[in-house]
Amino acid sequence: MNALILAGSRPGAPDPVAEAEGVAHKSLVEIAGKPMLAHVVVALREAGIARIAVSASDPHVRDLAAELGCEVLATGTGPSASVAIGLDTLGAPLLVTTSDHALLKPEWVRDFFADTPEGSDVAILLARREAIEAAMPGSRRTYLRFADGHWSGCNLFLLASPRAGLAIDTWKMVEADRKRPWRIAARLGISMLIGYALGRLTLSDAIGRLGRRIGVTASLVAARDGLAAVDVDKPSDLADARAILSARASSNLKH
């Protein structure tokens, strides 16, 4: 198993976390004494992943990735294009995550592998709203509202077989429509759109049908820990991450 960490920069407005901390990229922001990117790399290594690549364009992030013993890959025109480069370079199975997943724990990665249904070409880890609110009351996330609950992404994707490459063009579409789930449903046909409008379409079914439409077996995997959906998108997230990692460090010292 290999892993790809996405650490590119979105064009346009500067990242609010990097800007608030006065660094070139939020991957470089220090939390509990080390850069955010280092936390992700350590968690992946502790999960048993030896070969890790970082997709980055910022020279400081590329230098840090090399210092951490990671391969450094070029970025594409967007996250999905960067994943395509990573899949071509590293092959499948490939775990994909992001450099702002500062709270990532090795057990989340191991649980994701264990809970992915056999025969899946692609798997996506998502957390239920109840699990997120239980783990972190007051956390404000973006939710996809479907018949089987309200879900938020966990920035963990498994490209389990070479066929997963077929899903990358669809990934571009999902990127564009990730905050408008009705448009995703509309791309699956009128019956799916009606099902969504009537509140009968489950996210699990939507992902499965979307996969079959492009020739892959795609699975939703529910996160066991709601914290898996908490990344660092804004300064308030950074404050939360610092508090949580500080508490973890204190707990580890006690044990």
Q: Round the average pLDDT of the chain to a whole number and report it.
A: 87
* Residues 185-195: tens digit of each pLDDT: 556 555 555 45
* Predicted local confidence at residue 41, as pLDDT: 98
* Predicted local confidence at residue 89, as pLDDT: 97
> Which amino acid is residue 227, in one-letter code?
L
Tell me the domain boundaries of the chain.
2-244
Query: Domain 2-244 adopts which CATH fold?
Result: Spore Coat Polysaccharide Biosynthesis Protein SpsA; Chain A (3.90.550)
pTM of the model: 0.89
Q: How far is the first Cα of the chain from the last one, in angstroms, to the nearest whole number?
A: 31
Alpha helices in the chain (DSSP H): 16-21, 36-46, 59-67, 79-90, 106-115, 129-135, 168-177, 181-187, 190-197, 203-214, 235-254
